[in-house]
Every structure is written in structure tokens, then in C-alpha cells.
């Protein structure tokens, strides 16, 4: 997924990119390959692959995708203990070499890994962001567009909560050309698309067998990176450390965030119905259980 992030970002010329991995030669090979595509793509992003964190020094943004991925039948939560250890190692090195960066966490289980990175980095909460809502919303948007036979460009969607089985797609705030989908589709159709969104990651894992999705997740990361580097003040659903917003304290949960040069510059508290709020609380409770296991 890290290499695919690099691919999307270089193709948009978002900046210079360093790919880092622990497998000897792999990041160097991928980095050089991507660099050699730049003349054709007419992009001046410099791409470097390395196993040495020194080469990443003073990065503006660091995207952490490190960790094992799911196999068919596994939930994201099954990755907790292994990825916690990997995250401990990676975060300490990143913080040493890029003390002023914005961290974007992609490793699963997403919200618990974002909380781990936040606690271990000592960064202020605006500088640690979990990627999940943009991906989950993109899946929901793709399914809505296919169902209605309309352009994906017409479709906006909001998915809040943790990046897991309890995620909270919000049909009321999901629209086609500004029209809520609740006006355009039967309830049962919406429920089917919501369920497919919740199972979106597992659907891909089932096909791939040896790993999880990477094109859509890394496109989601790229949208977040672009919003931060260009100080766009873009409203995107991201996992953020909440300190009372939505009645949730001391926990990473997916909520609408304003992304700009300082990272998360604001958390929007949109009005939720009692049912939606209950679903968000339930999702937060499942994140709470995971972070308790690793003690962050």
C-alpha cells in the first residue's frame, strides 16, 4: 500500500517521496522504478526508496502503512498485537527523524493504531490522523453511483465511526447532486449498500487471499495528503482523537475533520439522530475495547 500511495502522489506531483521498508532492496527497487516513470508522466517528484530512516529526515507528512494485512476470514482486530509492536518501532524512528511531521496512520486495526501512534509520538492531536473515513465513504460512493447509474462525481457520502464492522455510514448526509439518497432509493436498497460498505475491505481480502486492498486506501491517503500540503481546508471524514466531541473522550473515532497545513484544524460536530448517535457510540466502544488490550 505504501508503494501505491507513492504512485498516486507522484502522479499528482504532490512533493518528493521517500519509500521505506524493512525488506532489503524492495523499497529501493520500487522507488527507482517509480522515479523512472516521472519523465513520461511529466512530473518532477523525486522518489527515493530506502531502508534507512535518516533518508526520511524532516518529512512534512509521514504515512504509516507498516504492519501485517488480513487473510481471508480475519477481522482487522485480529492484527492488533502484531501491528502494535510494529507501530511502536516505526513511530519512535519517525518521531526522531521528522519531529515536526503530520502523521497519517493507515495500519489496522486503524483507530487503535492511530491511538498508539498518538500516545507514543507525543504529538499534539491535530498532527495524528487516521485514514479510514475517506476510504469507507469512497466505497459507499462507488456503490451508490453504480446502483443509480450516475457519475461518481455526483455522489458525496459520509461514513463515520471506527474502521471496522461497526462503522456508521450516514445515508441522510449522502447525496447525489445535492439530493439525499434517502429520496432516491428504497430503504432496503440503501441497507444493502451500507452493508456492502461495511464489508468492503473483507470483500477485497476474499478475492486477493494474500492481502488487503491497496488502490482505494492509498487514493484516500493521497486525498488527505493533498489537502494538508495545499492547505485546502477540506472537510473529510478521518479518525481523530476526540476530547469531548460527540460526547467521546480520549479516543480515536472517525468524524468529519477540516484538513489544512496544520493537519486536523477542526472537528465538525454535525447533528446526528438518536439512532445515528447510538451507532457512533457503539463503534467508539469497540475501539475502546481494542485500545484497552494494548493499553494506549
The catalytic site residues sit at: 163
Instruction: Report the candidate in 218, 42, 13 with the shortest Cα–Cα distance to residue 132.
Output: 218
Nearer to ligand LAC, 31 or 67 (CB): 67
Residue 76 binds to ligand LAC (criterion: CB under 6 A): yes
User: In 10 A of CB 140, how many CB atoms?
Assistant: 28
Residue nearest to ligand LAC (CB): 201
Judged by CB under 6 A, the chain residues 93 through 122 that form the site for ligand LAC are 108
Sign of CA dihedral 76, 259, 44, 24: negative
Judged by CB under 6 A, the chain residues 208 through 227 that form the site for ligand LAC are 212-213, 217
Minimum distance from residue 208 beta carbon to ligand LAC (Å): 10
Q: Cell 476530547 sits at which residue?
A: 243
Nearer to ligand LAC, 4 or 108 (CB): 108
Nearer to ligand LAC, 108 or 283 (CB): 108
Minimum distance from residue 231 beta carbon to ligand LAC (Å): 27
| Candidate residues 27, 201, 237, 260; the one interacting with ligand LAC per rule CB under 6 A | 201
Give CA–CA dist 175/106, Å, rounded. Answer: 27
Cα–Cα distances (Å) from 237 to 12, 55, 134, 259, in that order, read: 21, 31, 6, 10
Minimum distance from residue 170 beta carbon to ligand LAC (Å): 18
Nearer to ligand LAC, 90 or 272 (CB): 90
How many Å is the Cα radius of gyration of the chain? 18
Contacts with ligand LAC, 151-170, as mask; x by CB under 6 A: ------------x-------
Contacts with ligand LAC, residue ranges (CB under 6 A): 76, 108, 135, 163, 200-201, 204, 212-213, 217
Amino acid at each position: 500500500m505504501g508503494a501505491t500511495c507513492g504512485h498516486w502522489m507522484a502522479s499528482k506531483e504532490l512533493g518528493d517521496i521517500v519509500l521505506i521498508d524493512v525488506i532489503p532492496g524492495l523499497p529501493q527497487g520500487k522507488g527507482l522504478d517509480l522515479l523512472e516513470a516521472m519523465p513520461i508522466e511529466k512530473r518532477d517528484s523525486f522518489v527515493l526508496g530506502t531502508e534507512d530512516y535518516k533518508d526520511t529526515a524532516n518529512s512534512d507528512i509521514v504515512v504509516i502503512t507498516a504492519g501485517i494485512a488480513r487473510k481471508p476470514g480475519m477481522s482487522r482486530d485480529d492484527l492488533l498485537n502484531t501491528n502494535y509492536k510494529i507501530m511502536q518501532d516505526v513511530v519512535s524512528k519517525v518521531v526522531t527523524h521528522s519531529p515536526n511531521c503530520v502523521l497519517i496512520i493507515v495500519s489496522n486495526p486503524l483507530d487503535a493504531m492511530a491511538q498508539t501512534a498518538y500516545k507514543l509520538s507525543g504529538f499534539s492531536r491535530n498532527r495524528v490522523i487516521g485514514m479510514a473515513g475517506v476510504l469507507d465513504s469512497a466505497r459507499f460512493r462507488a456503490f451508490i453511483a453504480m446502483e443509480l447509474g450516475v457519475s461518481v462525481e455526483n455522489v458525496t457520502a459520509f461514513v463515520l465511526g471506527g474502521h471496522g464492522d461497526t462503522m456508521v455510514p450516514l445515508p441522510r448526509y449522502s447525496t447525489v447532486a445535492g439530493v439525499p439518497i434517502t429520496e432516491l432509493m428504497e430503504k432496503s436498497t440503501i441497507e444493502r449498500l451500507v452493508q456492502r460498505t461495511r464489508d468492503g475491505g473483507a470483500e477485497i481480502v476474499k478475492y486477493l487471499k494474500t492481502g488487503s486492498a491497496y488502490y482505494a486506501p492509498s487514493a484516500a491517503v493521497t486525498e488527505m495528503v493533498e489537502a494538508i500540503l495545499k492547505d485546502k481546508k477540506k472537510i473529510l471524514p478521518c479518525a481523530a482523537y476526540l476530547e469531548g466531541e460527540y460526547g467521546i473522550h480520549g479516543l480515536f473515532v472517525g468524524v468529519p475533520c477540516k484538513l489544512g497545513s496544520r493537519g486536523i484544524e477542526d472537528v465538525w460536530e454535525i447533528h446526528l439522530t438518536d439512532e445515528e448517535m447510538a451507532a457512533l457510540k457503539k463503534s467508539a466502544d469497540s475501539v475502546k475495547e481494542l485500545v484497552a488490550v494494548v493499553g494506549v
